[in-house]
Structure 1
């Protein structure tokens, strides 16, 4: 059995695409997944499965949510090992392990980013304290003035990097790692 983390984008935000976590958990159980745990209302689900194809898992979850809840949402499925590697590779924490993690976020991309428009993103933050580092399918964010005030949004990365994306704060990523190790 492999431990997976499913990250759903755009549920329970601003009163839209409301899914109760108890119902989402039951949906995953009905799909045949084991040891299902949900974390906070923003669509973080840990589960175990013997299925090895992550794309199949993503497609199955998307289809089940569409059928059961009638919402079209982006789902990204990572293995525990993949998320652990991403977690341990945070370049901002490598530079300063005492950094305030409340100012750190992570945007995860569904595929390899198209970097041809990266300079457009850099231009947006040239006169700002905000920083981002793209590493493989991850965008590490440091927003010292808070995520609410940054131009480095999920939609921006999705559009400029030509990839579906979902963003989580670093505390959530830390908690998902902790839960995956239980």
Structure 2
């Protein structure tokens, strides 16, 4: 049985570095035996069907193929449709009332617990705030991610040590649910 997944590539096509043309990425993934491969935007989202492997092995397979094909490493997180939908459904913020630039989800490669974030005084960053989810963090940044001081604090090495972390705005979160649900 084929499962639908999204691959989240971290740090590609940003500022002229790590160029990954989406057509080449789709062809590469098809060459790995995945079906119904598609991409969303130029910033590192691909959707596909696979009837083998799990999230971790699929991420490792794609990471290795990208390194071999493009000649540079890229962090990859793979999540299935059920997980992506559960993350969208569990949003602790009123997503329907917010602009997409105000709400973000950071996906992590492994579970995170509150201890990682103990040194961050949320009150010091108000009205920005975050909540933890299942291998994810929801961030409300009313002035956008680029201006968010809380996002900066959340991305410090002491918080993300040992993890792959990649952030998507709410429009992308919702679109990935849609694209993997087909």
TM over 0.5: yes
* TM-score, normalization by structure 1: 0.91
Unaligned runs of 5+ in 1: none
Contact 1:154 1:167 survives alignment (8 Å): no
- TM alignment of 1:55-134, pairs within 5 A: 55-93=56-94, 97-122=96-121, 126-134=124-132
Please say if 1:142 is aligned against 2:143. Answer: no
The corresponding residue for 1:176 is: 176
Contact 1:154 1:165 survives alignment (8 Å): no
**Residues 8-17 or 107-116, more deviating:** 107-116
* TM-score, normalization by structure 2: 0.91
Distance in 1 (alpha carbons) for counterparts of 2:11 and 2:56: 19
Q: 1:127 to 1:115 in 2, by over 3 A?
A: closer
Displacement after TM superposition at 1:100 (Å): 2.8
Distance in 1 (alpha carbons) for counterparts of 2:75 and 2:147: 24
Contact 1:2 1:48 survives alignment (8 Å): yes
**Residues 111-120 or 14-23, more deviating:** 111-120
Distance in 1 (alpha carbons) for counterparts of 2:154 and 2:62: 22
Contact 1:118 1:161 survives alignment (8 Å): no
Contact 1:104 1:140 survives alignment (8 Å): yes
Contact 2:10 2:75 survives alignment (8 Å): yes
Once the two structures are superposed, residues 50-106 of structure 1 have per-residue CA deviations (whole angstroms, 9 ceiling, x without a partner) of 11322111110000000000111110000011100001110002xx74233331001
Distance in 1 (alpha carbons) for counterparts of 2:46 and 2:37: 7
Displacement after TM superposition at 1:145 (Å): 1.2
Query: How many residue pairs are counted as aligned between the two chains?
Result: 179
Contact 1:25 1:38 survives alignment (8 Å): yes
Q: 1:159 to 1:64 in 2, by over 3 A?
A: farther
Runs of 4+ in 1 over 3 A off after TM superposition: none
Distance in 1 (alpha carbons) for counterparts of 2:22 and 2:164: 23
Distance in 2 (alpha carbons) for counterparts of 1:20 and 1:28: 13
Distance in 2 (alpha carbons) for counterparts of 1:84 and 1:154: 27
